[in-house]
Amino acid sequence: MATREVTRPSAPATPPAGRRTSVQRTKLWGTLLALPTAWIVGFFVSSMVIVVLLSFGRTQRDGRPVFGTRLTNYDALWNEVYLRLFLRSLTYAVVTTLICALIAFPVAYAIALHGGRFKSVLIAAIVVPFFASYLIRMYAWSALLSDDGVVNSALRKAGLGGVQFLNTPYAVIGGLVYGYVVFMILPVYASLERMDLSLIEAGKDLYHGPLRTFFSVTLPATRAGLFGGMLLVFLPALGDFVSAQLLGGPKTYMIGNLIQQQFLEGQNWPLGSAMTVAMMIGLTVLMVIYLRATTTRNREQA
């Protein structure tokens, strides 16, 4: 930037120095923002638009999806089977979120308040396994928990008898919890880190027991992190299909599997798109309700 100014000495009416830098700064930010904006518009928004448009389309006889203006795909959604799947997925996602919260809070608490100089190492230890593909980690679980797998062999050696872990709803929820718990740990950890520890001491000074201190001081102070984490876990868990596919049984099919099937074997992209759009609308409504409820409560708190 500076060199360009120098090579343009004849620039008319140079604005005062202060203003120029601010204009330059806005320009700089504009350029910096342009790339990610283009990226988001190019790849995220446009693909969303395609999905929405396709949801009104149809499939040609040769299997190619084409755009259209029909509502048939949405009519097809009013199917008792799909509704049941949605409720099942919702249940799995809610249970997953609650279990994640129960796991994440103590873990984050222990690291943030008692981790000392090992804090970053401990956080890294939690995050690093998530660098491996989710799919591969799920495969690993199915190998570990299979009937003749490591865990069952150990149980049998200990004389406890084998347990059928795999292909149950518990396995699917377990997979979801394992897959997404880190999204809860990190925001909770961050809000615990930011919390003023003297608040806890103050609670204790006021003769609160540790439990009461936790519920009336620590929990409210870290509510934002917890609510954020819940959202980050709930949304992907609801749309997940990998856990049900690799760890599930004959009655654990989820909405994500349903949508995935339309795009692959089903050769019905328009129907899959309509399902996606319907689910997004449903989730947006849920999210708005959730956000309003949590923010008003936060405001009351403040």
Partner 1 sequence: MTPTPAVSRRSLLKGGLALGATAGLATTGCAYIPSEAKAKVQLPRSAKAKIDGDLIYFNWADYLDPSTFKGFQKEYGVKIIQSNFDSMEGMYAKLQAGNQYDIIFPIAKWVQKLRLEGKVRAIDHGQLSNADQVFYSGSYYNDPWYDDKSAVSVPFTVYKTGIGWRTDKVDAISGSWKDLWNPQAAKRIFTLDDQDEALAMAALLLGYDVNTAKPSQLDEIKKLLVSQKKYLRAYSSDDVNNMARGDAWIHHMWSGDFAYLREGVVKKPENYDFEAPEEGTPINSDAYCIPTNAKHPGTAMLFIDYLLRPEVAKKNMGYLYYPFPVRDALPAFADLVKDTPAANVDVKELENSNVFRLLGADEVQRRAATWTEVKAS
> What is the binding site for partner 1 (CB under 8 A)?
59-63, 81-82, 84-85, 142-143, 146-149, 164, 166-167, 245, 248-251, 253, 257-258, 261-262, 264-268, 271
Q: How far is the CB of 213 from partner 1 (least distance, A)?
A: 46
Least Å from the CB of residue 269 to partner 1 = 10
Nearer to partner 1 by C-beta: 67 or 215? 67
Closest among 179, 177, 93 to 133, alpha carbons compared: 179
Complex with partner 1: residue 230 or 255, whichever CB lies closer: 255
| H helical segments located in 7-145 | 17-39, 46-54, 72-75, 80-114, 119-127, 134-145
Task: Using the minimum distance from each CB to partner 1, give the nearer residue, 196 or 265.
Answer: 265
The rounded distance, in Å, linking the Cα atoms of 250 and 267 is: 22
Residue entry with tokens 């350029």: 31
Q: How far apart are CB 56 and partner 1 at their closest, in Å?
A: 16
Q: Which residue, 148 or 196, is less far from partner 1 as judged by CB?
A: 148
Could you give the CA distance from residue 121 to residue 104 in angstroms, rounded to a whole number?
17
CB closer to partner 1, 139 vs 214: 139
Of 218, 19, 236, the closest CA to residue 105 belongs to: 218
Token representation of residue 1: 């930037």
In the complex, least distance from residue 170 CB atom to partner 1, rounded to whole angstroms: 14
Q: Name which of 261 and 294 has its Cβ closer to partner 1.
A: 261
As measured in angstroms, the least distance from the Cβ of 274 to partner 1 is: 13
Q: Is the dihedral of CA 62, 66, 70, 74 positive or negative?
A: positive
The β-bridge partners of 59 are 65
Minimum distance of partner 1 from residue 271's CB (angstroms)? 8
Measure CA 232 to chain center.
3
